[in-house]
Structure 1
Amino acid sequence: MDPKETILKYHKGNKKHPISAESKLEFEALDMPFSKIRIILLVHIGKEGWDCRSLTGVILSQKGDCPTNMVLQTSCRCLRQVEKGKHESALIWLNQYNAEKLNMQLEKKHNISIKEFEKGANKADKEIKRYSRMDYLKLPKIDYYQLRVHYDCIIKGKPQILNPKLSDVITPESKQASIVKIQDFEQRLLGMDVKKAMETEPVNYNRWLYDISKESFGMLPVSILRQHDEFLRQIFNEITLLKNGVRYFSSVFNIKIINQNIRKLFYEKRDLRTTEEVIPQDARLLKIESLTSPVNTSEPESYYPPQNITEKIILEDKGQLKPDKKAMEMMRLAEETENWDILKQLKLKYMSHPEKDRSFHYLPYRLDSNFERLLLKQVLALAAAKKRNLEIYYNGDNSLTEFKIHCYKGSSGRKRYIGTYTPDFLIIKRKNGKIYKAIIVETKGSLYAKDEIFQLKRTFVEKEFIEINQNKAGYPKFKYLYLEDSLTESELIIKTVSAIEDFFEEEM
C-alpha cells in the first residue's frame, strides 16, 4: 500500500503549521471500516480523551514521548476492547527509560510488574468445545462393592459430677514439671531442686467459672456449674495462690487440663460403636449433565486430544469423515505415481485418532499433567493392551465421574472415615456387555506422593477395597497400579505392561 495512504501525521497545530482538514478527517475516521490508515505519528495527541478502539499498538521510542506520570495511560491506549469477549492482542514498544516508568506505575497502581502484565496478556481464554461419546462407545456403568460404616454413640455411665472426686480433676497430667535439674558447664548433674509454686495470672472464682463455660461452646452454662459450688471452690483453692488478698493461678498446674477435666465430670461416659456393611454400587464414568460446552480456558494445552482431532473424531463417529470423489481420485493418482508423502498427507486429512474406539468417553479430557498425557498415549499404543482389546478412560475429573471410593482408616470396629478417593484412570476389559475387570491407575507427582491422607487412601484401596470386591465377585476384579512422575518413559512402559500382562493374563 502507498505510505501516503497508510501513514497519518497528526498534531494539534500552531500558527506556523495549522491543522490539516484532511488529516483531521482521517483521524476522526480511524475506527471506520473504510480507513486505510495503519500507522499514526502523533504530537500531543492520544494521551487524554482519545477513544480509538482500532489502535493495536503504541510505540514510545524516546525519553520525552509523554509526561513521566502518564506513561501507563499512554501505553494502555492500545488495550481498548473492540468486540466483547473476543481474544484480542496489542503491542506496547518502549525504550528502557519508559519501560522503567511503566513498571513503576504498574506496581504502584495495580501491584503487578511488566512481566506479570505480559503473562496475563498471553493467557487469553480460548474456547474449547466438548462432547460426550458414551452412546457411541456404549460404555456401561461400572459395578463394584463399597464399604459403608455406621457410627452409633453408646452411653456407658452417668456423669461423674454426681459423685465427684478431687483426683478426677487434679490428675498427674494436670501438674506442671516441678523438679529442676542443677548441672555444671559440662552438663554434669550436681543435684535436684524442687521448683517452688509461683503466682502466674490473677483470677477470681466467677471469672474462672465463666472461662470453663465459654470453652464448652455453650454446652455447660455457668448456672449448672453454680450447682456444684462447694466442690469447685475446693478445686479453685487448690490450684490458686493467695497473695496480698489477690488470687493467682499456681505455676504448678496446667489450668487448661484442669478445666477440661472439670467439663468431663458433667458428661455421661460414652463409647462409639461402628457397624460395617458392604453395599453394591454402580457408577457412571461420565455424568453427562455436568459436561458443559463450550468452556473458555487460558490453558488449552491441558485438554487432550487437541480441538482439531476432537472435531475429526466426532465427524468420524457420525460417518462424516470420508474423502469425496475428488480426494479419492487424488489418492489413486498419488499411489499410481508413488508419491507416498502426498498420499500420507491426503489420508491423514481423513483420519481422526487410530485408537478412538478404546478411549475418550468424552472429548477432550482435561489432564492435570504431561505425565497423565504420556500415560494415556502409551497405553493406547501398547501391543499388550491392543491384543487384549483393553480400553483406558480418564476418571480424574471429580466433577464428571461417579466412580469414587469411600476410604477408611483403622481396624475393624474402630474404622474412621478419611474421605473419598477418585482414581485417575481405569484400564478396563469388557465381558458380556459389562466391565469385567479394571486396573485402577494412580498417577502422582513426586511432590505430593508423601501426603499422609493420600497414603492412607492408597492403603485402603490397595488392601481392603480390592479384597472386598474380589470376595464378592469371586475373582480378582480390580488391581491397583501406582505410577509416579519420577519414572522415566521406559520405566513407565515396563511397569504398565507388567501390570497388564499379570492382571489380564487369562485374556490372551
Structure 2
Amino acid sequence: MDHLHQMLGAKVREWREVGYPCNEYPAITEILEYQVQTEEVSDGALVDTLRFLREPQRRALETYWYLRLIEKTPHISDLYAQMFPSISSRRNALGLTSAALQDIILDEGLDGLLERVRTDDELVREHGLDSLRETLTLDYPSYIFALAMGAGKTILIGAIFATEFAMAIEYPDGEFVENALVFAPGKTIIGSLRELAEVPYDEILPPRFYKRFAASFKLAFTRDGDPDVPVVRGSSFNVVVTNTEKIRIQKQPVRKKKGWTQLQMQTEEQRAEEIANRRLQTIASLPHLAIFSDEAHHTYGQDVEKSLKRVRQTVDYLADKTRLVCVVNTTGTPYYKKQVLKDVVIWYGLAEGIAEGILKEVEDSILSYRFDAAATSEFVRDVVLDFFDGYRDVALPDGAPAKLAIYFPQTNDLEELRPVVEATLSEIGLGPAVVLRNTSDSSQEEIDAFNRLNDPDSPHRVILLVNKGTEGWNCPSLFACALARKLKTSNNFVLQAASRCLRQVPGNNVRARVYISDENRATLDKQLQETYGETLGNLTKSEKKKKTAVLHLKDPAAPPPPLIVTFTRRVIRRLDSENGSITDGLMLKRPEDDGSAEAMLRTTYSVGERAGTKSVLRAVDDIPLDVAGETTDLYKAATSLASTYRLDALKTRRLLSRLYPEGEMPADHLPAVAAQIEEQTCRYEEGEETVALTIEIVKPEGWLDEKNGEYATSISYAEDREHLILNLLPDSENPHGFGFHYHPYNFDSVPERSFFTQMLEHLNLKPDLVEDIYFTGAITDPKKTDFFVEWRDAANKNRRYTPDFIIRLKPEEGEPEGSGRCLIVEIKSEQYEKTVTEEMARGAATSDEGRKALAVKSLEDLQPGKIEYEIIFAPAGDLVRSKMKRAREFTEGR
C-alpha cells in the first residue's frame, strides 16, 4: 500500500468491524451505526441495508471521523509520519523516489529534503513536486475526499457538518465544529449547493441528535449585492454557502473623481476596502469553523498559480483570525497534472461508481463520429435522430422523460446549428418547444426553465449549452450528451460535459449515451486517463519505482546488414497535349451515384481497461452513415477544370450545363468528370523502374554517446517490469550467438519475451538456414534505426511504428549480404484479433492496431516472397508453442 488513502482505508475498515469504539466520545459510535438499518426480507431473513447515505458517502464519513477522533485531526505531514513510520516507506508514499532525491535524503535526511520542497522553487519545478509543496506549506489540517462525479459529494458535506454540530451539542466542551463555510469558485456550482437545504438530516442523525440539531441549524446563502453575510457575528451552528468570488481578501479599485483631494481619495479607498472585507470579517467572527471546498480541483487545478493563491490567502486569513478546526476538500479526482495529491484520504473512482450502480452504465454507448467539418450539421442531425430512436419513450421512475444535452464551443455555433436541431425534430413529429437554450446570454425565463429540468412536467427534451451544464449540474433525467465541434477549453471540460448524463437514480436500468467527434474523443480519452488513471492503472507512471538500464550496441563496427527490398514499379509520365485548349469535341457523361462514399463514420466505444495501451476508450463497432452530399456551382467547377486542363472556361460551363441543368453538380462527381476530360485530352508515357530500398536495422551513429565514446543509450523502466529485461545469454545457452544486436533486450510484454526465448532454443537446434533474429520493437528513435513504418491515426496525423521482430534467412548463393528472405513478426494482445483480422481482410482500418498492421503489411506487398508478415495474437503470459508454428516453419525454409 503506497498511497495514504489505501492505508487509511484499511484502518477505517478495521475500525468499522469492531464497532467504531471511541471511549472519549462514545456518541460517534451511535451516529455511525445509525447509517445502517436492519430490514426483514420476504423469506423472513434479516439483512443490513444503508439507511440513506450511499456506500462511498458512508466510507467517507467514517474516514472523516477516524481522522478527527482516532488520529486527533492531524496535519497531513504528521499523518504520513504515523502511517508510514519508516523513512523508506514514507519516501515512497510521498513520491520521492528518483535517484537525485534519494541522494538528497542520504545527505540531508528526509526532513531536510521536505524543508527544501517548502522553500526551493527550482527543486520543486525540476522534480514536479508542486502538489507535495502545497501539502507541506499548509498550517492547518486539510484533507481531500476524492469521489467520482455522482457519488454525492454535496450530501457528504452536509453529513459531515450535521454530525459535527450534533457532536458539538452533545459535548459542549469538546473541540467540535460549530460553524461551516461551504465555498467553491463559479456561480454555477452555487445552484447545486442548494441541495444542502433539502438533505434529509433525520436520515443521517439518530432522533435524539436530530431534534437538537434541527432546532439550532441555520443555513445562509450569500446573494449578489448584499454587503455582508446574513448571520449573527460570533454565533454558532451556521452554515454559510458562498463562492470564492464573494468571500476573499480583496480591494475594489476606486476611480478618482474630478475635484477630489488626496484625503477624499484615501477615505473612499478605505470605505471600499471595508465593504469588500466585511463578509470575510463576519466569517472570521464565527467560532470553531470548518471550511468545505466543493469541487476542490478548482483549487488545485490547471491555473494553480492564480486561483490557489486567492483561495489559500482567504483560508490562511481565516485560520489566523478564528479557531479553524479543519478544511475538507471534495473533488472528483485524486490527481493534479498526473500527480496524486498527497492530501487525498479517500478515493472512490468512476469504475466503482458504475459497478455499484451509482452511475449509469455506458457499456457500448460512447459513439464517436469521423466527419469533415462541413458535415457538422449531419452529425447533429444523426445525434437527434439516434437519441429519439432509442430514448423517445424512456423516463425515470418519477416520470421525467429522458433528455439530450448538446454542448457547443461558442454561441454562434449554437445559433448556426439550432435550426438543424429543430428541423430534425420536425421530421419525427416534435416541435421546437422541446428545445431549451442555456448560455451566458440566456433570459431569466430560460434560466428558470433550466433550473426546473428535474420536474417531471418540464417540456424540454433537448438542451443546447455553451459553457453551462458541467460541474454541479444535477439532472438525473439527462440520458445523453453530445459535443458538437471541437471544444478547446481547460479544466477537463470535455470530460465534465461528456459525463453529465451518468448520474443515476434508483429504479433506472437504461444506459446513458455519449456522442462525440473523433477530435473530442481523443481529448475525452486523455482526460479520462488523467482523471481516473488510478482506477485503470492503480499507480501513475511517474510514481512507480523506476530503474535504469544501459543498452549497448553489440558490434558498432559490424552492425546487422540492412534489409534490402528490391521492387519494380510502374512510372507514368504525362505528356502535354498538342492543343490542350481545344474544348470542342469533348464528350462528357454524367457520372452515376454509386452510393459508396462514406461521408461520416460512427464508432461505438466503451470505457474499460485496455491491455498494452494507455487508452481508456475501447472501440467495439463502427457504422458508415449516409449523409446528404455537398454540391458545387457549375461556374466554379468549370473554372477549376479549365484551369487544370487548359480548356475554354465558357465552353466547359456549357458542357456541364447539359449534364446538370439544375445549375449545380454533386461535389463528388467532379473527380469523375475530370477523369473523362483527362482521358480525352491528355497523353501519357508508361514505363517501369527498379528501386532498391535499403532499411538500416541499426544506425550506429545514432547510438554514439559523444561524452564517453560508447555506442549505448540509457532507458528507464518501472521496477515491476524488470522481468522483461533480458541480458546477453552465455554461449552455453545460445551457442550460435543469435540475437542481441544490442543488449539487454527490453521487451514490452511477457509474450514478446517468451517468443524470443523459445525461438532461440529452436534456432540453436536448427541454425543452418538462419542468418539472425532481431528484436526491434523497443527501438523507435529514427536516429537509431530505419526499421519503422508510418501510419495515420484517427486525427490524420502521421505516426511511426516499429514491428517487434525480424527473422532473416541467409542469402541465396551469390546474393549480397542482407538480401535473404525475412519474416516480420508482431505480437499483439488477443483482444485485437477479431478487429485486426477483419480490417486486414478488407484492406481498410479504423482501429489504431489495424492501421499499424496494414502499414507493416505494405512492406510485405513491396516484394512478395521476399518479405512475409506474421501477427501472433497472444493472451497474457508465456506464448504457447502452437502460436509459433509459422515462425518455426519459416526458419526451416518452408
Q: What is the TM-score when the length of structure 1 is the normalising length? A: 0.49
Q: Which has the larger radius of gyration?
A: 1
